[in-house]
Structures are given as structure tokens and as C-alpha cells.
């Protein structure tokens, strides 16, 4: 489900699948942020090493964990943007139907009587 939502999860014609893809991609981005919060930095490694021993293993683990966290964040954000940008617009203009025949001439207006003149003022 994760791979389909990230790599083939644009779903421009299906709103339900698009919503599922957006939720999964948001979850991937959030999991990358959480992973970044728990990964030790390289500075923490010097405190954990035994005296006289280089902290290479700890620094390597911190670097790999940080790289995975950043990759998760980027994959989630890029997938989310791709899903949103490929979606069809829901606001479609209504179709206007013309019911008059194109051959028909417009109806002639009916003649009306001229208005009566105003009465002359009394003097």
C-alpha cells in the first residue's frame, strides 16, 4: 500500500484512492520527522564511547538514521504534492444546453397602441 501510494498513487480519477494516498504520504513524512527526533546526533557519540576508543560505529548509525529520516520526509512531501497536483478539478462548469433551433427566426414583436396624449392644462 505504501509503495503504491508513493510511486503510483496519483489517482487523478478516484477521490477515495487519492485521499488514502494523501493520508499515507502524510504519515510517511511525519514518520521521517519522528525518526529524526529519535536519532542521535554525531555529537552525542563522543560521550558514549569508551576512553581511548573512536566512536565510529555510533557516528555511522547516526548518519544512516538521519539520512533515512530525511528520505522519508522528502518522499512523503513529494508524493503528497504529486497526488494533489495531478488531481482533476472538482469544480467543473455546468454544461449549457441551447434549446432553440438554429434555423428558427426570432418571433416578431406584436404591435402596441401608441400612448394617449396628455390632456391640455385648463386655463
pLDDT in tens, 42-99: 666 666 556 666 656 667 777 888 889 999 999 889 888 888 887 776 566 677 777 7
> pLDDT at residue 102 above 80?
no
Look at phi and psi of residue 22 and say left if phi exceeds 0, alpha if psi is from -120 to 50, else beta.
alpha
pTM: 0.57
pLDDT of residue 30: 92
Which strand (E) or helix (H) includes residue 85? helix 56-85
Distances (CA, A) of 51 to 56, 58, 96: 13, 14, 81
Amino acid at each position: 500500500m505504501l509503495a503504491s501510494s508513493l510511486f503510483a498513487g496519483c489517482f487523478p480519477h478516484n477521490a477515495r484512492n487519492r485521499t488514502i494516498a494523501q493520508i499515507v504520504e502524510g504519515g510517511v513524512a511525519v514518520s521521517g520527522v519522528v525518526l529524526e527526533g529519535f536519532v542521535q546526533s554525531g555529537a552525542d557519540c563522543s560521550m558514549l564511547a569508551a576512553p581511548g576508543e573512536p566512536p565510529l560505529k555510533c557516528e555511522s548509525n547516526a548518519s544512516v538514521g538521519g539520512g533515512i529520516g530525511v528520505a522519508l520526509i522528502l518522499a512523503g512531501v513529494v508524493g503528497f504534492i504529486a497526488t494533489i497536483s495531478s488531481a482533476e478539478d472538482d469544480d467543473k462548469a455546468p454544461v449549457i444546453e441551447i434549446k432553440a433551433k438554429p434555423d428558427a427566426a426570432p418571433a416578431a414583436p406584436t404591435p402596441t397602441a401608441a400612448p394617449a396624449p396628455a390632456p391640455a392644462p385648463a386655463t
